[in-house]
Chain A
Amino acid sequence: MKTGDNVVLEVSNLKTYFFTRRGVVKAVDGLDFHLRRGECLCLVGESGCGKTVTALSILKLVDSPPGKIVEGEIRYDSLDLVKCSSKQLRQIRGKEIAMVFQEAQSALNPVLTIGDQIMEQIMLHLPLERNEAQNRSMALLREMGIPSVERVMKSYPHQLSGGMKQRAMIAMSLSCDPTIIIADEPTTAVDVTIEAQILGIFRSLKEQRQLSLIFITHDLAVVAEIGDRAVVMYAGKEVETAPVSEIIANPRHPYTAGLIRCLPDISRPADRLVSIPGFAPNPVELPGGCAFHPRCSEGMPICSQQAPPVVELSTEHRVRCHLYR
């Protein structure tokens, strides 16, 4: 894969393990990807495949007693985020790399006002006076399409609707002009109309501000709408990486193909919804060889014995599957 000068973030061989009483959970097991300026990279996969842990690992927000980044490099702006000091990390969090979480109600502090929470971040990173920070916050909220910003600034999270809370969170993440925004399933907990609005906001952010986005989702439809490139994950590993158009039109990995088949097509008659047989594997006891082989329609004998390596089908398309050796 060519990594040009336009790369803002490069993740190499990231391994984040959780050491629990019942065994070691290899939530992320050797993940590689890169993010270019102005592009939206989607991390796709079922629940438990490691996408959220990946996002948290980038900013080292993983719960540290059970979890630990055991190996890997995360290069941002000549720094290795895995190895840098906490002081350097705190300069990056919220200022260069910001995060938007899945459920706005639990991600926002219920006893502080929206204004307080946004301004707190601004005044931490930027040399602004209090009223300047306030104006900046209100401008951001307006940009997000929130009406009556003065009232919202003084409101508490529980007084706002789901969509407004999510917009406020996005405004908060933008407050210090970050280079990268990591969005962890921001539309999963909201209904379709709000989802459309939020996706619209992200799209315009990408276009107008040249923002780089890492968008985590399990919904391929969302990927199709907003993603430029996608990394499909399964059991902590990357199984396929490609531009979104290619993934949709020409999925190479059986898992990706299965995911696409699951999307119901309104134009075609069907009587049964298609799904991928089987269940997501127990993270403590992963199947040997390729983790997907018990559910794979193209399984070969070698799949249960050897873990497949990553194969580069083209400069932009990689697959981890024995089919392409």
Chain B
Amino acid sequence: MRKSWLRDYILKRLIYSAIIAWGILTITFVLVRVGPSSPADKYLANMAARGQDVSQVIAAIEARYGLDRPIHEQYFDYMVNLFQGNWGWSFSTSMPVIDLIKTHWVYSFQLILLSSLFAAFLGILIGVYSAVKQYTRTDYLFTFFSFIGVSIPNFWLGVMLILLFSVKLGLFKTYYDTTLPLFSLANLKALVLPVITLGTGMLAGYVRYTRSAMLDNLRKGFVTTARAKGLPERTVIGKHVFRNALLPLVTIIMFDLGSIIFGGAYLTEIVFGIPGLGQVSFNAVFANDYPVVVAVTLIGTFLILLVNLVTDISYTYLDPRIRYD
């Protein structure tokens, strides 16, 4: 009985996510079409800058992009293209958008992964410790620092780190070296400052949320029961309290940090010159290369959608109370 319930639930969530995905694509489409300059204009500007004959180009665009066709046909094409992986052509780099993504996503991935691990690991540890030692000076210190961490503009932090460690102390290079092989120690070293930049804001968030979730549970009845059973304190906190704190923690982290990660990563890549998708989008904006900008936005959005879906389904494992909803 339980298995089929799970299957139904997953199905329901998948359908729901599909609806949201449709909404995302539609809104993006609307935004692009509603803009003052059509995609054609941007392409025109590009081509004109390269000295091409305008009227010829217009004809070519209209033919290729079907801009002379009615709007709903364009919409349909747009959806179909996206599904087939035909994400358009990047003017500024002269390659299909999808290839551009393929070459650059690794850089974003490693930055986000390392920063998240750093932030989660350290953040949860500090948060738990802070909650257990509430009202002590260490707690006040950590809380104060997490306030600061949340408030520091992350792009400024990046610049300050560069100022201090690269310019004044000369410990790191000022820009990310793209020639380094990915799985090398040198690459790791080059990522230290960016990871600290992106990770600090996330770290502060983790500390605050973990602390609050733990505090909510520390005064609950089952904690006294656990102690009355003779369990050592670390089991009481680590097994009993933490398992209960995990659910609200996961909720908040998935919803809040999902958005913050991508914005933060975008800025961090620009500050440090890391050639990830954020940098790609940034270059595309100034080259008027709209398919790329749209593509990166959609990638970020769909990743969040995926994370939300996975989180929703993992709730059923974390909180037994909602299984027989």
Q: Indicate yes or no for A touching B, C-beta below 8 A.
A: yes
Spell out A's residues near B (CB within 8 Å): 56, 59, 61, 65, 90-95, 98-99, 101, 103, 106-112, 120-121, 124-125, 156, 158-159, 172
Q: State how many angstroms separate the Cβ of A252 from the closest Cβ of chain B.
A: 34
Given contacts A94-B229, A111-B244, A121-B230, contact A61 B224 (CB under 8 A): yes
- Type the 1/0 row for B218-255, where 1 means its CB is closer than 8 Å to any CB of A: 00111011111111100000001001100100000000
| Top-4 shortest CB links A-B | A106-B221, A93-B230, A94-B230, A94-B229
Q: Are B228 and A98 interface neighbours, CB within 8 A?
A: yes
Q: Are B221 and A103 interface neighbours, CB within 8 A?
A: yes
Considering the chains assembled together, what is the distance between the CA atoms of A111 and B247 in angstroms? 10
Q: Are B222 and A94 interface neighbours, CB within 8 A?
A: no
> Which residue of chain A has the shortest Cβ distance to B232 in the bound complex?
A90
Q: State how many angstroms separate the Cβ of A197 from the closest Cβ of chain B.
A: 21
Q: Which residues of A contact B229 (CB under 8 A)?
A: 93-94, 98, 120-121, 124, 172
B68 contacts partner chain A, Cβ-Cβ < 8 Å: no
**What is the predominant secondary structure among interface residues of chain B facing chain A?**
helix
B320 contacts partner chain A, Cβ-Cβ < 8 Å: yes
Q: Are A90 and B230 interface neighbours, CB within 8 A?
A: yes
Q: Are A101 and B230 interface neighbours, CB within 8 A?
A: no
Chain A to chain B contacts (Cβ below 8 Å), 18 pairs: A61-B228, A65-B135, A90-B231, A90-B232, A93-B227, A93-B229, A94-B228, A94-B230, A101-B221, A103-B221, A106-B220, A109-B225, A109-B226, A109-B240, A110-B321, A112-B243, A121-B230, A124-B231
Considering the chains assembled together, what is the distance between the CA atoms of A107 and B221 in angstroms? 5
Q: Which residues of A contact B228 (CB under 8 A)?
A: 59, 61, 93-94, 98-99, 101
Q: Which residues of B contact A90 (CB under 8 A)?
A: 230-232
> Which residue of chain B has the shortest Cβ distance to A56 in the bound complex?
B224
Considering the chains assembled together, what is the distance between the CA atoms of A95 and B231 in angstroms? 11
Spell out B's residues near A (CB within 8 Å): 135, 220-222, 224-232, 240, 243-244, 247, 318-321, 324
Q: Which residues of B contact A92 (CB under 8 A)?
A: 230
Considering the chains assembled together, what is the distance between the CA atoms of A56 and B225 in angstroms? 11
Q: Which of B230, B232, B240 has the most CB of A within 10 A?
A: B230
> Which residue of chain A has the shortest Cβ distance to B222 in the bound complex?
A109
Other A-B pairs beyond A65-B135, A94-B231, A109-B240, 14, CB < 8 Å: A94-B229, A98-B229, A101-B221, A103-B221, A107-B225, A108-B225, A109-B222, A110-B222, A111-B244, A111-B318, A121-B229, A121-B230, A124-B230, A159-B324
Q: Which residues of B contact A101 (CB under 8 A)?
A: 221, 224-225, 228
Q: State how many angstroms separate the Cβ of A128 from the closest Cβ of chain B.
A: 15
Considering the chains assembled together, what is the distance between the CA atoms of A107 and B321 in angstroms? 16
> Which residue of chain A has the shortest Cβ distance to B320 in the bound complex?
A156
Q: State how many angstroms separate the Cβ of B314 from the closest Cβ of chain A.
A: 14
Considering the chains assembled together, what is the distance between the CA atoms of A56 and B223 in angstroms? 13
Considering the chains assembled together, what is the distance between the CA atoms of A200 and B141 in angstroms? 54
Q: State how many angstroms separate the Cβ of A139 from the closest Cβ of chain B.
A: 19
Given contacts A103-B221, A107-B222, A124-B230, contact A158 B321 (CB under 8 A): yes
Q: Which residues of A contact B324 (CB under 8 A)?
A: 159
> Which residue of chain A has the shortest Cβ distance to B324 in the bound complex?
A159
Q: State how many angstroms separate the Cβ of A304 from the closest Cβ of chain B.
A: 38
Q: Which residues of A contact B227 (CB under 8 A)?
A: 59, 61, 93
Q: Are B220 and A111 interface neighbours, CB within 8 A?
A: no
Q: Are A110 and B320 interface neighbours, CB within 8 A?
A: yes
Q: State how many angstroms separate the Cβ of B137 from the closest Cβ of chain A.
A: 14
Considering the chains assembled together, what is the distance between the CA atoms of A98 and B229 in angstroms? 7
Q: Which residues of A contact B320 (CB under 8 A)?
A: 110-111, 156, 158
> Which residue of chain A has the shortest Cβ distance to B135 in the bound complex?
A65
